[in-house]
Structure 1
Amino acid sequence: KTGDEYDQYDDEDLALSIPADAVGVPREFRQRVLKEMNLLQTPQDTPKNRCYCNYDESICGKNMTCVKQNGAACYHAVEEKYNKSMKRMETHHRWGCASLERGSGASHLTCNSWRAAHHTPKSIGCCYEGDYCNKDLVPPPYKHQPREQDLQKLPDLHDDLLSLPQVANGGLIFLAILGLIGGVFGMVRFIYFCVSI
């Protein structure tokens, strides 16, 4: 075919119909297919593909914008981190462009990661419309899973039940209840004895 009759779908058909015993494909054909693949994967800077971004200039540029691929998502991620100098938890916000994931043609895994519990409290919310749709997006509440070291700090229920003060308090309560039952039984017996005379 000449350059005027070129059809991009012919390359896909040819790529699928290459015989198994073929030595290779012509270099020009391979370069043309790779160039088209790169063009398809390059994000197009249109309003529907622009996301608000707060990473450094190498990712966001000077205008706090990143450009997502068609079908990918804009996101707003939150994470709770402990500030050692201030001795408190702080919420960190990140806005940006999610990547396309192989096999899904979208950002499915990234955007659904909030559904799983994490050791560090974090969540992510996504939108696909672009045009800075993530700027006012509120991520869903996060699910927190305590770290193993935090679980080790929790008191052991078995040890607490057998501690000496609790056993002593339990014994005193038991004796008080036993004395009350004995007193009631004694009164009933005394009344019965008085009435039968």
Structure 2
Amino acid sequence: MILLQLENATNQASYLLAKAKDMAIEYAPKLIGAILIYLVGSWIIKKLSGAIERMLTRHNYDPSLKTFLSSLLRGLLTVLLLLAVFQKIGMEITSFAAILAGVGLGIGAALNGSMGNFAGGVMMLLFKPFKVGDLIEAQTQIGTVLEQGIFNTIILTPDNKTVILPNGPLSTGTISNYTTHGNLRVDVKMLSRWI
């Protein structure tokens, strides 16, 4: 009885060892290929995002825009790299991509207003209708620009109030920049009385 159990355990161990050897022969090239794809892809992503940052610096883009665009590019390329690695291993990525698209759609719908502010902020950082320190009038507010961010712009009014303007409506509305040319024309109407 004990010999029979010992023989069954030995046979089972031999079977498991042979199965592990077959799996190693089958999956080792895929795993090595996936590791190589990840390493080469990570190196390419690092070089590409550095080149984009240098190009934006050369063209004098806003630092917050440079950081944002560089990290956005790095994130998107990393997701694509991980999909390529998973596919090399043998995982089915169509369902994963569908889930990723659904999550992106849900997040986009939830952040509808924020996405408009974000898009407006990117457009204003690209086209620069004003810069920090300029005196502007927009959305019935007038003040000096303290900070220009991705989602909103902060101005300081003449009566020392801090006003936060969302970039979505700001980018599609009328902006009067009083300091673009350095000189302001002021018309003063004077009444004179002759006695």
Question: What's the TM-score once normalised by structure 2's chain length?
Answer: 0.26
Query: Which structure: greater helix fraction?
Result: 2
Question: What's the TM-score once normalised by structure 1's chain length?
Answer: 0.26
Task: Say which one has the larger Rg.
Answer: 1
